[in-house]
Chains A and B, each alone.
Chain A
């Protein structure tokens, strides 16, 4: 069975994929739908949702269109989620691969380093980093990457270790291939599946982290994001529930979609695990 058909047997994963694609399309079309941007004040503040034509989700404390903010917010969430995950992979994969492949003191040092970062409460570290580096899209992305890479390093290390113990790697050594060649051609390709699964879940976690930072007021002040919308509306929750409700739903949907995709990928890429459950 091909990868896609295995993935497609998981209905929830397919729904997740459809939701994610929809979010991506909406995010891309944001400037077309709302050329004035998310910050423009379009009406009087505190308009309730479903009441006014053209403002289906109402207006916020400053009279800005909540829907526009929501759609522009999707851009930030996806961008930060994706870029920070790629950065975390760029740190975690080489570190874990080298640790697992060479073992010994290299592994010892790399793992102590990783463990140290894992001990630090990661959200607190992200707060400190963003606060000190001054909130901006770059500092947020970097901070999320810095707190997200340790699980990647551990996973890659464990996978590389297990693959390196397999006999075909011994055979490659006996063939006189160089370490670099063995690591990149024989070992790493066989660790890709779990890394892909983890990456898809990391994008989800990164979106949650970004929204949490923005909620605390540590978002990029020039960019509209879901977390910022909720944070700004926190104090008026008693009078204007919709201001924090809809961005939250957007986060839940997007994160849920990514998690479902991750699980679908896991089932599709690691068929032996699924089979084990059935036999």
Chain B
């Protein structure tokens, strides 16, 4: 009951957020230097006069601003993200075609970074002040300071160019004719480097949070109670400390989702991964604003969905939320 209410509340909020982003997009188009129709059509030359005139009519660019806003937001809410004159296809189609690749990449990177980050954080906190702790914390600090795209480039250089272990380019081997299981393995091989390098920074973030949170929870009274019961240290760490320490990590994971989706633009660019991030990069060079804004909107939508999921997860872990006695 409480959870149903929560989900409904969150969906309402999500819809409002999306609406606000649509409005933001609209004003961004108008903030861009030049004629909005030209802006939407992409760099001059991509669209002919007729197309631009059509655009004017479609968006009502001769009408007052609020009418334009109304039409634009209406279009977006009916999932009409406009047309990419550069690519010669509706923006929504372009995005939907590329979305699965991005989802595979970001979700893999997310799970790798979360699991590895939490595991390392727990390991470091268990040996706080010792060599293992210094090693883990030091490495995390290094990853935390490393630009995503540079880590990706260096990984390509070492593991692909020098060692030749893994492919450093693309989503699958082009023209291999693989099918079924072989194809899955092939994609997996292509996925390893992008997912790892995208996850590296976030792993450092989760590790630091987990470590700090474990150490803080370990100081709390109920841990002393658990020790006073005569429980073994490993049980105390798992059942009492870790479960409580994970709460802030879940919150952080939700907040970091946006960063992860944004980071995918860089990773996909380096690895020529055919996702929406790569689409955004290509559109940047082509000044295809309509596509850029479309990708922006969809990535915001991904973050919103992700936030709703973390919210629900949080409520499932923490009995205190949403059902006060």
B-binding residues in A (CB < 8 A):
116, 118-129, 131-134, 204, 208, 211-212, 215-218, 227, 230, 234, 237-238, 241, 244-245, 248, 251-252, 255-256, 259-260, 276-277
Contact = CB atoms under 8 A, between A and B. Distances in A.
Contacts of B20: 116
Interface in B115-158: 141-142, 144-150, 153-154, 156-157
Contacts of A129: 28
Contact residue range for chain B?
Answer: 35 or more
B284 A120 contact: no
Contacts of B17: 116, 119
A215 B277 CA distance: 14
B304 A237 contact: no
Contacts, number: 132
Nearest to A247: B150
B233 to A, nearest CB: 19
B269 interface: yes
B197 interface: no
Nearest to A227: B147
Given A124-B295, A128-B296, A216 B150 contact: no
A259 B262 contact: no
Top 9 closest A-B pairs, CB basis?
Answer: A123-B262, A248-B150, A121-B258, A255-B145, A256-B145, A121-B262, A132-B32, A121-B261, A124-B262
Interface string B305-323: 0010000000000000000
Interface of B: 17, 20-21, 28-29, 31-33, 39, 141-142, 144-150, 153-154, 156-157, 161, 215, 219, 255, 257-259, 261-263, 265-266, 269-270, 280-281, 284-285, 287, 289, 292-293, 295-296, 299-300, 302-304, 307
Contact of A120 (B148, B281, B293, B300): B300
A208 B296 CA distance: 20
A31 B258 CA distance: 39
Contacts of B28: 128-129, 132
Contacts of B292: 127-128, 131
Given A132-B31, A216-B284, A118 B157 contact: no
A102 B184 CA distance: 56
Contacts of A128: 28, 292-293, 296
A123 B259 contact: yes
A248 B270 contact: no
B160 to A, nearest CB: 9
30 contacts: A116-B20, A118-B258, A119-B17, A119-B303, A121-B262, A122-B258, A123-B259, A124-B261, A124-B300, A125-B296, A126-B262, A127-B262, A127-B280, A128-B292, A128-B293, A128-B296, A129-B28, A131-B284, A131-B289, A133-B31, A204-B145, A208-B147, A217-B284, A230-B149, A230-B153, A234-B153, A234-B270, A238-B157, A248-B146, A259-B145
